[in-house]
């Protein structure tokens, strides 16, 4: 069975919610259909409270305000709820015509949110966020999807990485990355690449080096395989 994922545009809207607060209805997608998810984000002192309504279920998620990984954490949790892989979702969510609330089930999937294995289980010992938090938004997302694609969504993640890299190339003004961050992420990316097949490692190193065209070359190579 194919799984629900948040497409790139939905992730950008989620990032806006995480940063600014508010409410929005996002669409999870899979080949057969789509699934609506209502997300309400509220900042309370040093906490970010997310209320998530999906497939007739209601859940809440509390994150540390200002954490640059919050969008990644929230997206992973929403996808896990939709696909029945979070402890709060007993079975995969189904498409329903109306939204109804249920009991609060917060806090039960903390490990999946804070330390999902597809981000911190790499044989290099490097956690994905160690690299992505030092990269601009588009490059960080592209790196994330290539990093996790073999452990999570396969070709779907590679297509998402390609989308973010193409978007980065289209930007009229690219601020680049500081020398210090470039050196740091290059070292980490090389450690990761040492445990990956060459095209995957080459794509990750190119993204970390702020070379989107080179990274796209290797992603196209992977998609053509």
The 3-class SS string of 128-186 reads HHHHHCCCCHHHHHHHHHHHHCCCCCCHHHHHHHHHHHHHHHHCCCCCCCCHHHHHHHH
Mean pLDDT of the chain: 81
Q: Taking the complete model, does pTM exceed 0.85, yes or no? A: no
- Strand duo 57-64 + 22-29: pairing: unpaired
Task: Please choose, from the candidates 135, 131, 157, the residue with its C-alpha nearest in 3D space to the C-alpha of residue 146.
Answer: 157
Residue 68, token pair as written in the block:
């640059």
Share of the chain above pLDDT 90, in %: 24
Query: Distance between CA atoms of 156 and 183, rounded to whole angstroms?
Result: 30
Q: Residue 86: what pLDDT?
A: 63
Q: Residue 218: what pLDDT?
A: 92
Under the banding of pLDDT at 50, 70 and 90, the label for residue 88 is low
Query: Distance between CA atoms of 104 and 101, rounded to whole angstroms?
Result: 9
Tokens 């990956």 found at: 196
Under the banding of pLDDT at 50, 70 and 90, the label for residue 113 is low
């Amino acid at each position: 069975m194919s799984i629900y994922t948040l497409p790139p545009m939905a992730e950008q809207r989620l990032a806006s919610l995480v940063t600014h607060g508010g409410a929005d209805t996002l669409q999870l997608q899979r080949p057969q259909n789509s699934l609506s998810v209502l997300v309400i984000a509220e900042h309370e002192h040093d906490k970010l409270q997310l209320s998530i309504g999906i497939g007739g279920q209601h859940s809440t998620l509390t994150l540390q305000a200002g954490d640059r990984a919050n969008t990644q954490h929230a997206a992973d949790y929403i996808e896990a709820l939709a696909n029945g892989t979070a402890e709060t979702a007993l079975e995969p969510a189904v498409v329903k015509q109306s939204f109804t609330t249920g009991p609060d089930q917060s806090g039960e999937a903390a490990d999946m949110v804070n330390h999902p294995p597809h981000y911190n289980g790499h044989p290099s010992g490097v956690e994905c966020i160690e690299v992505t938090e030092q990269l601009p938004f588009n490059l960080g997302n592209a790196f994330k999807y290539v990093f996790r694609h073999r452990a999570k969504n396969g070709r779907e993640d590679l297509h998402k990485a390609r989308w973010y890299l193409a978007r980065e190339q289209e930007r009229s003004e690219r601020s680049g990355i500081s020398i210090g961050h470039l050196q740091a992420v290059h070292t980490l990316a090389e450690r990761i690449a040492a445990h990956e097949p060459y095209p995957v490692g080459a794509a990750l190193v190119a993204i970390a080096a702020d070379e989107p065209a080179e990274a796209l070359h290797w992603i196209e190579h992977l998609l053509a395989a």
